[in-house]
Amino acid sequence: MHLADHYEAHFRALSPKWEQGFLEQRRQALQALLRDGLPSRKQEEWRFTDPSPIVNCAFNPVVPGPTRTATAQDAQAYVLMFVDGTPCVTQQSLPEGVILQAWRDSPEALPDSVRGCFDVAGDDGFMLMNTAFLAGGACLYVPPGCKLAAPIHLNYQFTSDASSRAYHLRNILVLGEGAEAEVVEHYHYPGQGTDMTADLCNVVTRVALAPAARLEHCQLTACGRVSALLSLQAEQQADSCYHVHALGAGTTLGRQAFRVRLCGAAAAVELDCLYHLNSDEHLECRMLVEHAVPNTRSLQLFRGMVGGRAHGVFNGRVRIQQGAQDTDARQDSAGLLLSEQARVDICPMLEIYADAVRCSHGATVGHLDEDAVFYMRSRLLSRSEAEALLRRAFALTVLERLPVASRALLHRIGWEVQHDH
Amino acid sequence: MSTANKEISDLLNERYAAGFYTPLETDSVPPGLSEDTVRSISARKAEPEWLLKWRLRAYRRWLEMQEPHWAHAKYAPIDYQAASYYSAPKQDKPKSLDEVDPQILETYEKLGIPLRERELLAGVAVDAVFDSVSVATTFKEKLAEVGVIFCSFSDAVQEHPQLVRKYLGTVVPRGDNFYAALNAAVFSDGSFCYIPPDTRCPMELSTYFRINAGNTGQFERTLVVADRGSHVSYLEGCTAPMRDNNQLHAAVVELVALEDAEIKYSTVQNWYPGDAQGRGGIYNFVTKRGDCRGARSRISWTQIETGSAITWKYPSCILRGDHSRGAFYSVAITNNWQQADTGTKMIHLGRHTSSTIISKGISAGHGQNAYRGMVEAGPRASHARNFTQCDSLLMGDQCGAHTFPVIRAGNCTVQVEHEATTSKISDEQLFYCRQRGISTEDAVAMIVNGFCQRVLEELPMEFAVEARKLLGISLEGAIG
Amino acid sequence: MNMLEIRGLEVSIGDTQILRGVDLSVSAGEIHVIMGPNGSGKSTLAKVLVGHPDCEVSSGEVDYAGRSLLEMDAEERALEGVFLAFQNPVEIPGVGNAYLLKAAVNAMRRHRGETELDAFDFLSMVREQLQQVGMSEDMLKRSVNAGFSGGEKKRNELLQLALLKPRLAILDELDSGLDIDGMKAVCTQISSMHTPDRAMLLVTHYPRMLEHLRVDHVHIMSGGRLVQSGGLELVGHLEQGGYETFSA
């Protein structure tokens, strides 16, 4: 069966189960998708990641079951868990006005600022697919002035070993004026032993920060043999502060795209990304920061460790629009090659249309410092110990910038960046 | 506009001194491009059959190709049928300099390139390309004494066909890209240079390109071959009259360096950039590539790009030989409405190869300046090294500076370092200099000169002077 | 006749009026010190005298060696011998320090009708001065002020002062950022440049610097005016009562 027919048939079968209000948007997205198709490597955007394994696979979009209740597992965090896409809500007392729910449940009760975030920018085929087959996702709203004391844990667990499923998820994070929060967004597939080769995890996360809001946002992905497409789109108003910590373990075919627009004076964003790839994994990290107004600040910090026959890509872009004077933008990217056949591509790009700016980028690609290894061996460390220490030092640039509460949460869920294998 | 920006733009807007036109009777093919055009150019040069076939294959390939639009530049569609593809002064080929039309000699003199023997620049041999043909090559005989061949491309085809046939198109294949294919089909002349084994070329070789006729493009081809253990330094300069319409210059330069050979290729590109409103100017769409074919060979590109309405060129190095080295040193200035998309590719294929990239972009007015580069080291390029420094100087809030580097590392012994910075000349810097009694003009020149110093010092002395003058700056003292 | 005569000078920067009527006379051979709290207008006075473009003069006159200083542009003032040692000298990456110095010295020599120095003569002249200000020769090779420490920047300003031999030297907080030894060295240097035909105007808020200098006049600045003038005894008052005793 032709792929277009496959998706059309799915759409017909699924649409009665979906909420009616959103149906027209889904239909339009499907039509655009059938018209334009999915991306190919010929497009500049996909030059470094070949999407054909995803494009040529007939995925079955998952329709999650109704929201269940679960018992609380972590007293030190506000948890919203999804098991194979099905929301599992725990009883927890949130500060007044804070909304943390699967947005599918009572969408009409959501504030306008949240509802406005359902539209996503860009008409990439996977984004259209996400809209057409949207299965659900989390919604967080923190009202003005509210400072959350504990981190939010958006915990996506995938267990089933049925194959060729596609999860099209969307998260919405909205912080009101002066609000503060820490969010850990977490995607976890079981490791070796399960064959979920053909699953697709397609996530769009929308972030909106009102003036002076502060968000620490940790994005964890352990997607094993799954194809994972994560897209994050954020808009920031004046004086807001946004810090992303993207930590990725291996993914067979992964692409993480961050797109941040700084729309208010003194808004600042820091995008940190660390990953470690092995065997035949592939991960591309894309960052685009748009400085739309004067006096904004950005940092892109990328560290990629690549071993085996894996392929890591960093594509960072800073765009400073005309009139966006007094911009401060930095890109700092480094690739560490750990094996003979590993490959790293790094593209740190600057587009500058204003003159009073401070912009710099530094990019390096290299290998473990043999002199340092030798030194440590002469101090009685084994070669593998020495190498693990150096890898850890490389990763630390990103890891040491994690906020305390998120770090504790990572520790509780047993997250380890795989720097020591 | 701040005072600094105002004064800088005044300084940069000095008149284009090479913008005059020399009225001459010409032999031109009618506008338009077809197989007949290609045949007619080839026939005019009495070319051998194999070269005509080569041209025709390129032409057919070109017909199937799409004009590239990925560069960071905006321009109206080019009508390839509107221009004439061949224009030469109407004169039988001069046998010696004495026979060259005095008006042409005068043109070159006005441009500061005397061709008459008694006024020749000592130590520099010049091939003068006027529109579609080479009109004179100096010091030919003196160079022949040491076995160096330096002549027009047309002469090389007649006199050294075996060499031309061996190397032509081996670095930039005829179907390499849209403009290279166009050039392969219609190239009219250019320079050819061969340095025999273990020979150090006794003088600087240079080609001076002049577009004179209107409504014509210039499509020249340069081929430099440095045989085992030889050394050559090659310079190239270009100018054109001021005109309201755009003219196309689509050149190809191929460099081949065999074992232990070294080629230094320098360009001072001063094509007419168009006026302050962005009317006219040359479209400079050029393919330049060097092949470090032999072990320990070296190729360096140095370019000072001040002219052209649009520059699209990426002088590149294929580092094939083990321990070979490539370098790219560039200053690109865009002012008014000029656009430059320039940079380099360093393709590391051999082991222990290394490359250096120093790029300095200066944007003023509404100028857009992009550095586009690729450093690639494949699985077999063990211990490849690259260092890239890529700086932008912005003058005014209407211009743009962009950096698009790509680093591709395919084995774990590769080491690549890339740095980029952006700066502007601040009012405070200018004031500081003025408080020390230095005029604004001199202060700007000093700062621009300082910004470009690392590249300027790569130029041969003969060109450094012209380049500094072009940058509107005075020679930096021997101290420091 | 006084070398410098300031009458009723009022100056704004942006929309803010900083100087509100300054009067000051300085004669050749004198050392004047202007002291005052932060924001009182000391640095603005220094800047307006050398023609900084940020300074908008709304009223008042300044005579310098019989000419109206305010009508001269910045280079001309410099060439006529008005020198400012900047509080925070700007960094000019890429421009060799030696090159700037040579350009400045030769601009000055041209102006005075002297022959320009070639690289060799210039270098031997600089070497002499380098020792005096305690700078090493490789500071010449570095870019102007780029990556210089606070002390190195100050020494570089002093080196320029020594090379350009101005008639009126204005030193804006030359002591800031220096340790005791550095300050002593700076003072020694200033003293050695104190000649009968040269006037000096020191801006500082650090009284201890003055112990090492032969100061003729001390002025207290507050709220954009010179509120009190006298001798070194003013410094004593200051150390006891602070600037408040002098407020306008």
Tell me: the pLDDT tens digits for B395-413? 888 889 999 999 999 988 9
- Convert the pLDDT of each residue in A224-272 to its tens digit: 778 899 999 999 999 999 999 999 877 888 999 999 999 999 999 999 9
Give the pLDDT score at A63: 84
A5-14, B43-52, B238-247: segment of lowest average pLDDT: B238-247
Instruction: Report the alpha-carbon distance of residue B20 to residue B129 in Å, rounded.
Output: 17
Environment class of residue A108 by beta-carbon count within 10 Å: exposed (0-12), middle (13-18) or buried (19+)? Answer: exposed
Predicted confidence (pLDDT) at residue B424 exceeds the cutoff of 90: no
- Chain A interface includes B417 (CB < 8 A): yes
- Closest by alpha carbon to B246, among B266, B288, B218? B218
Domain ranges across chain C:
2-245
pLDDT exceeding 70 applies to what percent of chain A? 94
**Cβ atoms B317, B344 nearer than 8 A:** yes
Residues B398 and B364 sit within 8 Å (Cβ to Cβ): no
C74 and B451 within 8 Å at the Cβ level: the answer is no
Tokens of A284: 């591309």
Confidence grade of residue C24 (pLDDT, cut at 50, 70, 90): very high
Can you tell me the mean pLDDT for A127-155?
93
How much is the pLDDT for C137?
86
A343 in contact with B, Cβ within 8 Å: yes
Q: Of C238, C169, C180, nearest to C212 (Cα)?
A: C180
**Between vectors from CA A344 to CA A341 and to CA A346, what angle results, nearest 5°?**
165
Taking residues B272-280, what's their average pLDDT? 82
Neighbours, chain B (3 or more CB pairs < 8 A): A, C
Residues A379-421 have pLDDT tens digits of 888 888 888 888 988 999 999 999 999 999 988 888 865 444 3
CA distance A401 to A306: 21
State the burial class of residue B4 (Cβ atoms within 10 Å of its Cβ: 0-12, 13-18, 19+). Answer: buried
Model pLDDT, residue C48: 94
Q: How far apart (Å, rounded) are the C-alpha atoms in residues C207 and C33? A: 10
Q: Is the pLDDT score of A196 beyond 50?
A: no
Distance from CA of A393 to the nearest CA of B (A): 18
What are the DSSP calls for B143-172, one per residue? HHHTT-EEEEHHHHHHH-HHHHHHHTTSSS
**Which distant-in-sequence residues (6+ apart) come within 8 Å of A241 by Cβ?**
A209, A213, A214, A215, A267, A268, A269
For residue B10, name the pLDDT band (cuts at 50, 70, 90). Answer: low
Question: What is the average pLDDT across A355-384?
Answer: 87
Task: Place A59 in a pLDDT band, splitting at 50, 70 and 90.
Answer: confident
Q: Is residue B459 predicted with pLDDT exceeding 50?
A: yes
Pick among C47, C90, C101, C165 to test the B interface (most B CBs inside 10 A): C90
B and C: number of Cβ contacts within 8 A: 98
Q: Contact B446/C95, CB-based, under 8 Å?
A: yes
Interface check for B412 against chain A (CB to CB < 8 A): the answer is yes
C86 in Cβ contact with C155 (< 8 Å): no
Residue B413, chain A, CB below 8 Å: the answer is yes
Task: Residue A390: list chain B partners with CB under 8 A.
Answer: none
Distance CA A185, CA A181 (A): 13
User: Residues B287-328: pLDDT tens digits?
Assistant: 999 999 999 999 999 999 888 889 999 999 999 999 999 999
Q: Which residues of B touch A359 (CB under 8 A)?
A: 420-422
DSSP-H helix ranges across C95-232: 97-111, 119-133, 138-141, 150-164, 180-192
Nearest to C50 among B435, B447, B453 (CB): B435
Q: State the pLDDT at residue C95.
A: 84
State how far the alpha carbon of B37 is from the alpha carbons of A31, A187, A392, in Å. Answer: 48, 63, 65
Structure confidence at residue A421 (pLDDT): 39
Amino acid identity of residue A167, one-letter, is Y
Under a CB-based contact definition with an 8 Å cutoff, are residues A349 and A330 in contact? no
Nearest CA in chain B to A359: B422
* pLDDT tens digits along C74-121: 889 999 999 999 998 998 887 888 888 988 999 999 999 999 988 888
Q: Tell me, what amino acid is at B46?
A: A
In this predicted structure, what is the pLDDT of residue A257?
95
pLDDT of residue B480 exceeding 60 = no
State yes or no: pLDDT of B117 exceeds 70.
Answer: no
The closest of A65, A5, A60 to A30, measured between CA atoms, is A5
Q: Do B431 and C53 touch (CB under 8 A)?
A: yes
| Tally: H helices and E strands in chain C | 8, 12
B467 φ, ψ (degrees, to nearest 5):
-65, -45
Burial of B221 (C-beta count, 10 Å sphere; 0-12/13-18/19+): buried
Given the DSSP bridges, would you call strands C55-64 and C67-68 parallel, antiparallel or unpaired? antiparallel
pLDDT at A420: 40
Closest residue in chain A to residue B415, using alpha carbons only:
A366
Note whether A200 and A57 are within 8 A (CB). yes
| pLDDT given for residue A44 in this prediction | 86
Instruction: Tell me which DSSP letter residue B228 carries.
Output: T
| Count of beta carbons in the 10 Å neighbourhood of residue C199 | 24
Average pLDDT over every residue of C58-68: 93
CB contact under 8 A, B446 and C52: no
CA–CA separation, A304 vs A283, rounded Å? 9
Judge: C92–B447 Cβ closer than 8 Å, yes or no: yes
Contact state of B432 with C96 under an 8 Å Cβ cutoff: no
SS3 at position C195? coil
Say if domain C2-245 classifies as CATH 3.40.50.300.
yes
Chain B neighbours among A 29-48 (CB < 8 Å)?
44
CB contact under 8 A, A349 and B418: no
Mean pLDDT for A325-347 is 94
Average confidence (pLDDT) over B40-51:
93
Whether A19 shows a pLDDT value over 60: the answer reads yes
Shortest distance between the Cα of C129 and any Cα of chain B, in A, equals: 16
